């Protein structure tokens, strides 16, 4: 007897919304998925949490053509509280079993656009999301997740305490969208931060330092039904931050033995990130060919560099590029092959102070994978990364091979 394998379309890193309750006035829904990976990296093989999440949202009509509502989403760690072998920027390295991904309210009208307040996808991410489709890692070079975070504080990823406005117009046979963002986040540093100055001195702020600041972003995208679909976009983010601590330490690079302990310190800095992106096709893992590329440049007047327990240095003062390509075929589009790269480089002068390594940072990874979509709710995938980074970046990344499953909730 012959058994047919049936599957259906599902875009990457998204989940179907399931209606919980619906009436003429409101619609309450939930969405999310559980993902688990078996990863071989650094001569070790073990199970690792994927980017599992669960969300709930509500939409309601409030006045004329206005719609309002909220969305709340939490990330889940269900199999281990240890840090994963392979760094996943989309989870911001969290070891908490439950951590906030999104929490916002919104109001929307066809004429006036959409206004959203709270923790939400940044307008910078309107462009950099094009290549953020890998299952296990990726997203290392677009400036979306700097300083080993989810990009919330600087406003490039899942923006904290943000107010956004998005409005689209139909123009030249396509859709143009403008996005604006303003945010005033405050937080306690989860990792130590080193801030460098032009006189070869830097201040080390411990991980309990307080940080507050503002950020502004703008994005402009153009989408047109040319062939299978063409998307062009550019975005810019500026963040200003102030760091305060009563336990900071002052170092002098020209005199390695010269350490001055100071009881309190306050510093401020401005970080800029710019990104441009292009994609062609219906979407990642959709029927036929899909290709996307993102290029970014970021800078900082304080040359701020984050150092975590694992040595991850995802920072400003860099140039990067990412790509993602997929081809999908078969019965109900259940087979997909995908590949791409992440490349990040920086000539931040801190690297000249490190012994026996190059005076630069070069992160380079190539990705190759395959996905089998069992049905609307279940997919299996293989993903491998081939690392060609230099020694300075070797603490960040490694070769890996992963086998995973993702199940819709």
Predicted pLDDT of residue 311: 37
Q: How far apart are CA 160 and CA 178, in angstroms?
A: 20
Q: What's the average model confidence in pLDDT over 369-398?
A: 88
H-only helix segments in 314-407: none
Residues 243-269 have pLDDT tens digits of 777 777 777 666 666 666 665 666 677
pLDDT in tens, 21-64: 888 889 999 999 999 999 998 888 888 889 899 999 999 998 88
d(C-alpha 214, C-alpha 209), whole Å: 17
* Residue of 113, 232, 272, 105 whose CA lies nearest to 180: 113
195 or 298, higher pLDDT: 298
Give the chain's domains with CATH numbers.
18-186+209-245+271-408 (2.40.160.10)
| pLDDT for the residue numbered 81 | 66
**pLDDT tens-place string over residues 301-347:** 754 443 333 334 445 578 999 999 999 999 989 999 999 999 998 86
Give the closest residue to 134 by CA, choosing from 168, 87, 192, 172: 87
Percentage of the chain lying above the pLDDT 90 cut: 51
- pLDDT recorded at residue 302: 57
What gap in Å lies between CA 390 and CA 357, rounded to an integer? 9
Q: Which helix (H) or strand (E) holds 32?
A: strand 26-41
């Amino acid at each position: 007897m012959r058994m047919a394998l049936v599957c259906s379309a599902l875009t990457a890193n998204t989940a179907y919304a399931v209606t919980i309750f619906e009436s003429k006035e409101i619609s309450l829904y939930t969405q999310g998925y559980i993902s688990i990976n078996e990863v071989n990296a650094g001569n070790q093989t073990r199970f690792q949490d994927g980017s599992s999440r669960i969300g709930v949202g509500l939409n309601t009509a409030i006045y004329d053509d206005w719609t309002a509502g909220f969305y709340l989403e939490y990330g889940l760690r269900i199999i281990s509280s240890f840090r994963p072998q392979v760094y996943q920027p989309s989870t911001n390295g969290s070891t908490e079993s439950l951590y906030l991904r999104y929490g916002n309210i919104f109001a929307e009208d066809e004429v006036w656009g959409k206004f959203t307040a709270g923790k939400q996808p940044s307008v910078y991410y309107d462009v950099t999301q094009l290549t953020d489709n890998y299952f296990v890692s990726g997203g290392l070079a677009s400036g979306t997740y700097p300083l080993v975070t989810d990009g919330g504080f600087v406003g490039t990823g899942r923006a904290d305490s943000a107010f956004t406005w998005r409005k689209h117009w139909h123009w030249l046979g396509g859709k143009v969208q403008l996005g604006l963002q303003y945010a005033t986040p405050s937080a306690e540093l989860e990792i130590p931060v080193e801030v460098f100055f032009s006189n070869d001195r830097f201040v080390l702020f411990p991980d309990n330092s307080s940080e507050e600041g503002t950020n502004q972003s703008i994005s402009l995208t153009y989408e047109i039904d040319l062939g299978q679909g063409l998307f062009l976009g550019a975005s810019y983010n500026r963040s200003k931050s102030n760091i305060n601590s009563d336990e900071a330490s002052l170092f002098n690079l020209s005199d390695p033995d010269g350490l001055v302990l100071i009881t309190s310190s306050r510093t401020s800095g401005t970080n800029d990130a710019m990104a441009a992106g292009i994609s062609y096709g219906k979407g990642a893992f959709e029927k036929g060919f899909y290709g996307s590329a993102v290029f970014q440049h970021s800078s900082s007047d304080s040359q701020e560099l984050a150092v975590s327990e694992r040595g991850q240095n995802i920072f400003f003062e860099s140039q990067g590029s990412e790509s993602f390509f997929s081809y999908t075929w078969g019965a109900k589009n259940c087979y997909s092959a995908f590949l791409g790269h992440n490349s990040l480089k920086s000539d931040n002068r801190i690297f000249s102070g490190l012994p026996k390594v190059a005076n630069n940072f070069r992160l380079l990874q190539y990705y190759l994978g395959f996905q089998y979509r069992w049905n609307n709710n279940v997919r299996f995938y293989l993903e491998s990364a081939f690392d060609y980074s230099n020694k300075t970046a070797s603490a960040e990344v490694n070769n890996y091979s992963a086998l995973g499953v993702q199940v819709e909730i």
